Structure 1
Amino acid sequence: MAARTSYQIHETEVELSEYQLQKLNELLVFVSQFNEFYKEKLKDTRLPIKTMEEFLQLPFTTKEELADDQQKYPPFGRNHSYPETSYIRYHQTSGTSGRPLKVLDTASSWKWWEDCWFEVLKSSGVTKSDRLFLAFSFGPFIGFWAAYEGAKKVGALVIPGGGQSSKERLYSIIENKATVLLCTPSYALHLAEIAEDMGIDLPRTSIRIIITAGEPGGSVPSTRQKIEKMWGAAVYDHVGMTEMGAYGYSCSEQKGIHVNESQFLVEIIDPETLKPVKQGERGELVLTNFGRYGYPLIRYRTRDMVINSSEPCACGNPYKFLPGGIIGRVDDMVVIRGVNIFPSSIEAIIREFEEIKEFRIVYYTREEMDQVKVQIETSADIAHILAERLRERIGLRIDVEQVELGSLPRFTMKSKRVIDERISKD
């Protein structure tokens, strides 16, 4: 049983539910006066709210709304609460599921990001004695920008890898004796592949911790275990969103994600009915951030699918635990011959095969029927074994096609391993 934790409201210590209600009211009162986007959305809301049930009557916020608002009020939209001169940071979403969102942060909001990332690093066992290598390009993707800020708070040395090739990054990791690597799961695997070609024995390097983000792979057991074996290091997952914040992280148990409930309110809903799901059921993650007044989000539909659980994590962290982390995207789920398929479910099976270097999932139409196939890079004769395992686990016959080594793309940031070639029936 997790230990009870108290939270400070001025001079009073309260339990988490009371603390969250107080933080919600502070946020709601503020945005109803100073944020034009939410002033309109909450115009019929009576404040302050007295119970969480009242809060659940408030409207959801969607990415489509925010994108449309930026189109109507370019370039940044109305969800930025302060004058433009108050903002110091610019970032944008990847745009993989629509128009990229432009998101600005004030100095105060950026400090909040730092605090959130500090929790990620602390839970991963990072200390001031570590040397963090950031293997990403310093572009508008917010990714590990905030990790740099969190590392400063920890007191660890940061080694930037922006503007370097993969080989240069590997040399820098080795020469500077980096102990912590931050990158996407795909890039951790890609670096390992390059290291193998270069004759570098990664488990003999000083890397002891890898913190992943940007993809669900860090919480997929087979993917995590493959990275750990190739690097000889412990892998910890992190989840966040440009528009929401760094809201979750894995722990020593490595069985899922904890949501930082001191900074985020968690809901899990049925994406069709919009009602809360029962314990043990899958649902869409909905979040509200407490500390980002410059760019607040209230009841934001993340489109990420998680499992609702009330079971505490064995690590002792009292925050909401999401077993398995992000298990897929609402947008990613497809129905093939009556079977619901998430790409992460297929990846989890593929990563069990060490012989597979890279893969791609292709949805297509044949004889007016939607089909799915998997392309794999491997020199081993395992296509038929993988096909059988996919059929047993997914409950669907999935063709497996072996392709030439090196023919599939590699990724330094978010991967794009799903190709949809289905013919529309409209």
Structure 2
Amino acid sequence: MIGPQKSSRERIEAGQLGSLQQLLSCLVRSNRYYAPILEKAGLDGSIGSLQDFTSRMPFTTKHDMARDQQENPPFGTNLTYPLEKYVRFHQTSATTGSPMRWLDTAESWEGLIANWEQIFLAAGVNAADRILFTFSFGPFLGFWCGFDAACRLGCLCIPAGGMSSLARINLLIESGATVLCCTPTYALRLAEVAAEEAVDLSASKIRLLIVAGEPGGSIPSTRARIESAWSGARVFDHHGMTEVGPVSFESPHHPCVLHVIESSYLAEVIHPETGEPALEGQTGELVLTTLNRHGSPLLRYRTGDLVCPVWSGEDLYGRTEVALVGGIIGRVDEMVVIRGVNVCPSSIEGVIRSFSEVGEYRVEVHGGTSMPEMRVVIEADGWDDAIQGVAESIEKQFRLAFNLRIPVSVAPKGALPRSEMKSRRWIIENTGTNHA
């Protein structure tokens, strides 16, 4: 007798369970970090379901990994194989502390490249494309992995590290690049430089901007601003982390919705304060288990990324993978409560980028944790009497969006810093902390 056909969601979870069982079997035998944790949780044998795993396995945090590497330098104990088997070294950007170092075997690296290939293919990249990478190739994983994946697809890959913004603009025009990989902020910065130097970006062949590193790619107003500046080229968002690799890609037919690559990641979304599962459609913290990165795995890793999940996304978005509506909304440690209202970077940017007169901006939070206050500094694309009216209009939009009075002041053009990497626009003055 033939049983009922499994739904697409059931097939995904069955595949994840098989991959998870293989991973745990491997870690129990030879991973010095996770073996004792799995044994204590009673997960050193076989598991019957994903629920069995998520209900018994404790979370892993960035603090856990950083402490392990500090106590067991230089790479920590989260290594499943002898050191000689590892061929790739990367590290995090250390925006919130000491950098974490990450090693990959040749097999793990192949898996990460395959994930990046999925991102490119979902974006519509093909072998005829010429891809310009604006990044300086430091120790961060994403650039190297994306470059290798693009080479694997047969694209002409153009590195543009160590160059000025104007030199990069000239290179992308002269090389006939069709795809640009950068952060959302840097896409706007390149357009700004092009305008300053009287370079017509419509002369370029850029048809696609693949962005990550900040929420901007899934903020409609920021996205529209980028596409307008680049003569209608399409923005395609995705996200990843050095600790886990390339995680998600934009829904091909639904802008501002990301899909997790669930063949490589077991995703959960939890309430940041309680650790309990978040409801569908409720903003929570993304938790990931790397299913195929056996050499340096992470089990139930609290990413710190805020997302809004839709698990039954096939009917809405045409794909079975979990959908993250609005992409990466922000970071748990960037969420600020102002007079009882939760305010995150993406919501502030969504308002500001709807005003084309604004070039760059900065958010300042001061007053301590008991009664914090926020103010915003904007920089005009030009300088005239009208910009003060724009500042007042932004204040009104803030009141409508958050029911808060957030003062907005104006800085001269060029006064605020620019970056080709993640921007540091949020200044928490009571701690001296900078946030993206």
TM-score (norm 1): 0.94
* Bigger helix share: 2
What does the per-residue CA deviation read over 1:340-391, in whole Å, with 9 as the maximum and x for residues that have no partner? 110111011100011101000000129x842100000013231100111011
Amino acid at match of 2:62: K
* Gaps in structure 2 of 5+ consecutive residues: none
Q: CA deviation at 1:263?
A: 0.8
Displacement of 1:298 in angstroms is 0.7
CA contact (8 A) 1:179 1:208 kept: yes
Amino acid at match of 1:412: E
Aligned positions of 1:152-163 closer than 5 A: 152-163=151-162
Matches within 5 A, 1:90-105: 90-105=89-104
Residues 94-138 of structure 1, C-alpha deviations (whole Å, 9 max, x = no match): 111222100111111111111000000001110001000000001
Percent identical pairs in the alignment equals 45
Residue aligning to 1:10: none
Q: Is the 8 A contact 1:133 1:182 kept in 2?
A: yes
Alpha-carbon distance between aligned partners in 2 of 1:320 and 1:204, rounded to the nearest angstrom: 38
1:233-382 matches, cutoff 5 A? 233-252=233-252, 253-312=254-313, 314=316, 316-365=318-367, 369-378=371-380, 379=383, 380-381=387-388, 382=390
Look up the SS of the partner of 1:214 in the other structure: coil
How far apart are 1:28 and its partner, in Å? 0.6
Q: Can you give the 5+ residue segments of structure 1 that lack an aligned partner in the other structure?
A: 8-13
Q: CA contact under 8 A between 2:363 and 2:375: conserved in structure 1?
A: yes
Note if contact 1:184-1:214 (Cα within 8 Å) is conserved in structure 2.
yes
| Cross-structure match for 1:35 | 31
1:203–1:230 Cα contact (<8 Å) kept:
no
Q: CA deviation at 1:224?
A: 0.9
Partner of 1:22: 18
- Structure 1 pair 204–25 and aligned structure 2 pair: CA distance change class (3 A): same
Cα offset, 1:423, TM superposition:
7.2
CA distance in 2 between counterparts of 1:37 and 1:344 reads 36
Change (3 A) 1:230 1:423: closer
- Shift of residue 5 of structure 1? 8.1
Q: Is the 8 A contact 1:358 1:376 kept in 2?
A: yes
| C-alpha distance in structure 2 between counterparts of 1:30 and 1:97, whole Å | 31
C-alpha separation in 1, matches of 2:319 and 2:236: 15
For residue 134 of structure 2, what is the aligned residue in structure 1?
A: 135
Helix, strand or coil for the counterpart of 1:36? Answer: coil
Distance 1:268 1:369 in 2: 29
Is it true that 1:420 corresponds to 2:428 in the alignment? Answer: yes
Q: 1:423 to 1:156 in 2, by over 3 A?
A: closer
Counterpart in 2 of 1:119? 118
Cα separation, 2, equivalents of 1:360 and 1:145: 30
Does the Cα contact within 8 Å between 1:112 and 1:292 map onto a contact in 2? yes
Q: What amino acid does structure 1 have at the position aligned with 2:18?
A: Q
Q: CA deviation at 1:316?
A: 2.2
Alpha-carbon distance in 2 for matches of 1:423, 1:68: 22
Note if 1:63 corresponds to 2:62.
yes
Residue identity matched to 2:30? F
- Asked if the contact 1:143/1:213 (under 8 Å) is kept, the reply is no
**CA distance in structure 2 between the partners assigned to 1:423 and 1:222 by the alignment:** 30
Is 2:183 the partner of 1:184?
yes
Q: How many aligned positions are there?
A: 415
Moved over 6 A (4+): 3-7
Q: Which residue of 2 aligns with 1:204?
A: 203
The amino acid of 2:273's aligned partner reads: E
1:14-51 CA-partner distances (Å, limit 9, x unpaired): 82111111111100110111110101211222421001
Aligned partners of 1:93, 1:323: CA distance in 2, in Å?
A: 26
Instruction: Give the secondary structure class of the aligned counterpart of 1:22.
Output: helix
Which residue of 1 is the match for residue 399 of structure 2?
Answer: 391
Q: Deviations over 1:142-192 (max 9, x none)?
A: 222111111122111100001111111111100000000000111101001
Q: What is the rounded CA distance, in whole Å, between the counterparts of 2:151 and 2:73 in structure 1?
A: 34
Which whole-Å CA distance do the structure 2 matches of 1:85 and 1:327 have between them?
Answer: 39
1:11 corresponds to which residue?
none
Quote the Cα distance in structure 2 between the aligned partners of 1:158 and 1:98.
33
Partner of 2:142, secondary structure, is: coil
Deviation at 1:396, TM superposition (A): 1.0
Distance 1:37 1:112 in 2: 22
Letter in 1 for 2:399: R
Give the alignment's Cα RMSD to 1 decimal. Answer: 1.8
Give the TM-score taking structure 2 as reference length. 0.92
